[in-house]
Structure 1
Amino acid sequence: MIKVSIIIATYNSGSTIRTALESVRKQTFLDWECLVVDGASKDDTIAIVKEYCENDGRFRFVSERDHGIYDAFNKGWRLAEGEWIHYLGSDDSLTVDGLEKVAAELDEKYAVVTGDVFLKRANGTLREQEHHGMFGCHQGVLMQRKVFEEMQGFDEQYRIIADYELLVRVKNAGYVAKNVRVVIAVFSIGGESQKLSSQWEKMWERYRINKKHGVKKFPFLSSMIDFLTLSITSVIRGN
């Protein structure tokens, strides 16, 4: 039986973490572990997580100061015991049967298996994420743990889109990915990488990544187009 490690990075996430953990607990897929990597929260995050750990041994947590979300993500996959890794935001949730459906497609020959994600606006309405295959948001991505080891995880110099940079390296290394048209998670819009104030930094990171890895012929132009498209779309849709 394949085991999936669900990793959640938290910091002062008391207002949202229970919903995320409940969505994990209610999975129809049973062979999972959930590892919460906390950045020394000062609210009730740790108390809530401990409650789940005491009631279900599949929940584990560690709490210590970190250097940002990708530092926490790297700690997570190193501590994980599952063959496959999935990252969930502390204000996101899994669909009840999404992992079960995707797990049926997990295979040693694939480094990455991706599903679909619904985006949740601040007003509670949902829309399906535009389909980007291997390069969708991390809530829709499962990757083999051994691939994290071989690629040495996330490059923490990228503060906003190190997950994108890792997937670029994985693709360039010749690994095979598979997409399953199943909704895995609901992603709450409004995280650090979604703020309009962060989009210039995101664009700059994408430019550096694309240039470094030879993703596109005109990386700056492509990054600028991505930035403008996202900014205009966010305004039109009220994100």
Structure 2
Amino acid sequence: MEKLVSIIVPCYNQGNYLNDSLQSVLNQTHASWECIIVDDGSTDETKDIASKWVEKDSRFKYVYKANEGLCAARNSGIKIANGDYILPLDADDKISENYLILALLEFEKNQNLKVVYCNALKFGQINEKWKLPDYSLKNLAISNMIFCSAVYKKSDWERIGGYDVAMVYGLEDWEFWISMLKNGGEVKKIEEVGFFYRTKEDSMVTNLNDELANKMYDYMSVKHADFFVKHLGSFKILISTIQKNNKNLNNTKFLINLVFKKIVGFNLFSKNK
């Protein structure tokens, strides 16, 4: 029996893109999937468009909820998912027809895998290959290189408590992968292009200003301080510098930033990040 993959598509006022995204799901060569469309309190035509897909194929399901943000929307869809494997897919993005089957083959070959992703292309306002750094835990401590539409096991989502709803302003994928991978597990990147990321002038990423970004960095630096210190350096090597800055001893953002500048040569919290 084929492994069931649950594809979770949160949608907040992105009905104009939803058809393209769901068509890419319908085109999958791996037939054992369900697609849960989570309407996160949309006021556009999302419900009408989603309903047509539910009528077209019973593997599509529609759920409406009050608007609480992307993390809460994903969690609500995954909570009712029947699949052993999860693939989040934003309502304005697309996947290739072979993505699911290629990802599942990787999981069959390696029982230690936690995350499978692939090469990706940007389309829309910008059309180019998405050049992502190679995965390693150290690189993950510096920045995120795994986009949201990677395949993982539902059991791992349960283990870490799902997407952190405190990440309301963005960077939620980075935080999620850190939570999932920091204590072990392997990652596989498929060399084929399997994901298509839509670029637009107005998006959650482009709207993430410095003040909001810093709030998310601050939160992550506290929650995952052990992870950042482990892979970017120990505070012990900086004790003399810290002692000269006594006023900052209780400022976790300062401490983490000090390590980052010492080890990797940049300011994580700077306005140029």
| Residue ranges of structure 2 left out of the alignment (5+ in a row) | 137-143, 234-254, 262-266
> Is 1:166–2:176 an aligned residue pair?
yes
| Residue ranges of structure 1 left out of the alignment (5+ in a row) | 230-239
Q: Is the 8 A contact 1:115 1:184 kept in 2?
A: yes
CA distance 1:228–1:170, shift in 2 (3 Å): same
Q: Is the 8 A contact 2:42 2:67 kept in 1?
A: no
Give the superposition deviation at 1:31: 1.4
Give the superposition deviation at 1:197: 4.5
- Give 3-state SS (helix, strand or coil) of 2:107's partner: coil
Match for 1:157 among 166, 175, 179? 166
- Residue identity over aligned pairs, in percent, reads 22
| 1:237 counterpart residue number | none
Q: Name which one, 1 or 2, has greater alpha-carbon Rg.
A: 2
| 1:24 counterpart residue number | 25
- Partners of 1:199 and 1:7 lie apart in 2 by 29
Q: Is the 8 A contact 1:140 1:184 kept in 2?
A: no
- Partners of 1:166 and 1:146 lie apart in 2 by 14
> Structure 1 counterpart of 2:125, which letter?
A
| 1:181 counterpart residue number | 191
| 1:129 counterpart residue number | 131
Give the superposition deviation at 1:163: 2.0
Give the superposition deviation at 1:114: 2.0
Q: Deviations over 1:7-29 (max 9, x none)?
A: 11012222110010111111122
- Partners of 2:204 and 2:210 lie apart in 1 by 7
Give the superposition deviation at 1:112: 1.5
Q: Is the 8 A contact 2:148 2:173 kept in 1?
A: no
| 2:119 counterpart residue number | 116
- Partners of 2:194 and 2:68 lie apart in 1 by 28
Q: Which moved more, 1:74-83 or 1:107-116?
A: 107-116
- Partners of 1:67 and 1:16 lie apart in 2 by 21
CA distance 1:132–1:199, shift in 2 (3 Å): farther
Q: Which moved more, 1:212-221 or 1:46-55?
A: 212-221
| 1:67 counterpart residue number | 68
- Partners of 1:154 and 1:66 lie apart in 2 by 16
- Partners of 1:203 and 1:121 lie apart in 2 by 28
Q: Is the 8 A contact 1:139 1:184 kept in 2?
A: no
- Partners of 1:30 and 1:4 lie apart in 2 by 9
| 1:15 counterpart residue number | 16
TM-score scaled by length of structure 2: 0.75
Match for 2:217 among 195, 206, 218? 206
CA distance 1:54–1:150, shift in 2 (3 Å): same
- Partners of 1:197 and 1:144 lie apart in 2 by 29
Give the superposition deviation at 1:91: 0.7
CA distance 1:9–1:141, shift in 2 (3 Å): same
CA distance 1:197–1:55, shift in 2 (3 Å): closer
- Give 3-state SS (helix, strand or coil) of 1:138's partner: coil
CA distance 1:68–1:132, shift in 2 (3 Å): farther
Give the superposition deviation at 1:87: 0.8
TM-score scaled by length of structure 1: 0.85
Q: Is the 8 A contact 1:139 1:185 kept in 2?
A: no
RMSD over aligned Cα atoms: 2.2
Q: Deviations over 1:58-88 (max 9, x none)?
A: 1111012131111001111111111111111
Give the ranges of 4+ consecutive aligned residues of structure 1 lying more than 4 Å apart after TM superposition: none
The number of equivalent residue pairs is 227
- Give 3-state SS (helix, strand or coil) of 1:16's partner: helix
> Structure 2 counterpart of 1:37, which letter?
V
Q: Is the 8 A contact 1:114 1:133 kept in 2?
A: no
CA distance 1:204–1:189, shift in 2 (3 Å): farther
Q: Is the 8 A contact 1:6 1:88 kept in 2?
A: yes
